[in-house]
Amino acid sequence: MIITQLGVNGLRNLSSLDLAPCSSINQLVGTNGAGKSSLLESIYLLANGHTFRTRKTKDLLPPGIDLLSVTAKLLDEATNRTHQCGLSKSRAGETQLKLDFQTLNSMAELTRMLPVKALYPESHRLIQESPDYRRQFLDWGLFHVKPDFFVTWKSYRRCLQQRNQALKLHRSNAEIAAWDDELAQAGELLHGFRQAYVEELAPGTTKFLENFGLKDSVSLGYRRGWLKDLSLLEALEAEQTQSVRSTFTTVGPHRAELTLQVGQQQARHVLSRGEQKCLVYALHLSQLELLSKSIQTRPIVLCDDLAAELDTGHSGMVLEALIGLNVQTFISGTQILDLSMGQEQKVFTIEGGVTTQVI
């Protein structure tokens, strides 16, 4: 799926924007504050219901504006069918979502149609921050390549919330344990999805790291969130006393971790900031490669200020890899990148929220 037309109204400084991107590389060039990142945010918002910068609608609305909207025409290249979609959000907290003029009740259908990945200056959090970021990274990939994953994930989250609620309200042990069977069943499936996915992700990550010239060998691993010699049901039963004391469930896939190590040490303690950025891009590129092989829908990649994130050599490697993966890419920056690969591209300047195509 590619975006052939994009319209944005009322998002930050984008009062009325219309863009006709190409199917490959789209450069968005302008000064700081011109609206480049906001345009990338609008695409992410349409696909996910929030942006890569914020989940708060009020942060996206400029003073005096109470409603924002993002609309797009999409081309399914496999069927040559065109779709139209749109999302609006109000300052009052109302959200409307439509696909082919039909109202949708959840983001899942449009998110699946539009697999959008954002690479932005804070992407190093994937290495530096808590395991939450790395679980979200795994789950994004699984959502798009494993049709049964989302149902399993929702089932696990629902049971976990119910069990945690029982713990917080100091319910009886029997009421708490009533959720254990269903939670354990979904949790074991969720663990299986993630563990297999990490194994699939590792070879591609190593390949891209070697292309980037990273000397240290980085190994990917997965810790499931409970002791190896126990089933999840056994672990839940064994930890009930601790859970009652803590008032939340202390074992399970919600405590899982994607591990990134150099030898016996965590990658973030060994690699320089520049090497960590290369690792982040290698992980994302490997994930996009798996996605491109698994589904017919083309991913969309948003690169916010790529030239500021990586040096010229590594930026070129990332672009070459994205072109090889056949994804639709939007790149923001203050200067036009010299693409000597003969690839289809469009270049748009953006100033004051207004775009002009120059190439």
User: Which residue reads 């320089």 in tokens?
Assistant: 272
Neighbours of 230 (CB within 10 A): 14
pLDDT reported for residue 297: 78
CATH of domain 1-115+298-359: 3.40.50.300
The answer for 210, left when phi > 0, alpha when psi is -120 to 50, beta otherwise, is: alpha
Token duo for residue 24: 């490959």
The residues of the chain scoring below 50 in pLDDT are: none
Residues 172, 195: Cα–Cα separation, whole Å? 34
CA gap 144, 90 in Å, rounded: 29
DSSP summary character for residue 11: B
pTM confidence score: 0.92
CATH pick for 125-294 out of 1.10.260.40, 1.20.1050.90, 2.60.40.10, 3.40.50.300: 1.20.1050.90
Check residue 342 and give its pLDDT: 67
Residue ranges per domain, the chain?
Answer: 1-115+298-359, 125-294
In order, the DSSP letters of 128-182 are HS-HHHHHHHHHHHHHHH-TTHHHHHHHHHHHHHHHHHHHHTT--HHHHHTTHHH
Give the Cα separation of 187 and 191 in Å (integer).
6
Give me the sheet containing 218-223, strands edge to edge. 218-223, 257-262, 265-266
Residue with tokens 């990273």: 214
Q: Tell me the C-alpha distance between 169 and 165, whole Å.
A: 6
pLDDT at 341: 60
HSE-CB at 15 with a 13 A cutoff on CA atoms is 7
- Are 358 and 32 in contact by the 8 Å Cβ rule? The answer is no
Q: What does the alpha-carbon distance between residue 288 and residue 158 come to, in Å, rounded to a whole number?
A: 29
The helix/strand/coil state of 319 is: helix
> What local confidence, expressed as pLDDT, does residue 239 receive?
93
How far apart, in whole angstroms, are the C-alpha atoms of residue 258 and residue 249? 20
Give, as one character, the DSSP assignment of residue 48.
H
Q: What φ, ψ does residue 236 adopt, rounded to 5°?
A: -65, -40
